[in-house]
Amino acid sequence: MIIIIILYFLFTVIYEWTYLKNKNRKKRTYWVVFCLMGISFSYCIVTVVFKHMPSPNDLIQFLFKPLQQKILGKVD
């Protein structure tokens, strides 16, 4: 699984690099693009390694579930 992710990101890095190079983008663009790519990459790896991480759903549920219950009344 991790190998697939690494391969995918390797492909993406090469692809975006040539793309940005062809378009003569600023250095800042490179930074932004590859930083975001790094974040995304680490997130992917993390999800594979730690299977049971709290997800954004849990957060939303934590915040909004009581509210919705109050508004709608208890729905089974």
Partner 1 sequence: MKTAQISQNQLLLFLILYFYSTLIGFAAGHLIHLSQYDSVIVLWISGLVVWVYAYFTIKLANRRPNEFFVHYGKEIFPYWIHILVMGFYSLSFLHSSAFVLREYEDFIVQTYLSETPNWAVGGILGMVVAITARLGIKTLFRTAQGLFFLILIADLSNSIFIGKELKWDRWMAFITNHSGHGIFTGSYTVIPFLGEIFILVFIFPYLTQKSKTLKSVSWAIVLGILLITVNLVFLLLLFGPNLTNHLTYPMLEMVRYIRIADFIENLDPFLISIWSTTVYLKISIMFYLSVLILAQIFRLKDHRPLTFSLAAAMVALSLQMSGGTAALTSYYTKSWATYAYFVEGIPIVYLLMDTLKRFIKKRSAKKEEIS
Q: Tell me which residues touch partner 1 (CB under 8 A).
A: 1, 4-5, 8-9, 12, 15-16, 19-20, 23, 25, 29, 32-33, 36-37, 39-41, 43-44, 47-48, 52-53, 55-57, 60-61, 63-65, 67-69, 71-73, 75
Q: Which is nearer to partner 1, 3 or 64 (CB)?
A: 64
* CA-CA-CA-CA dihedral for 46, 49, 50, 52, to nearest 10: 110
* Residues contacting residue 9 through CB under 8 Å, at least 6 positions apart: 37, 41, 44
The one-letter code for the residue type at 34 is F
Q: Which is nearer to partner 1, 3 or 23 (CB)?
A: 23
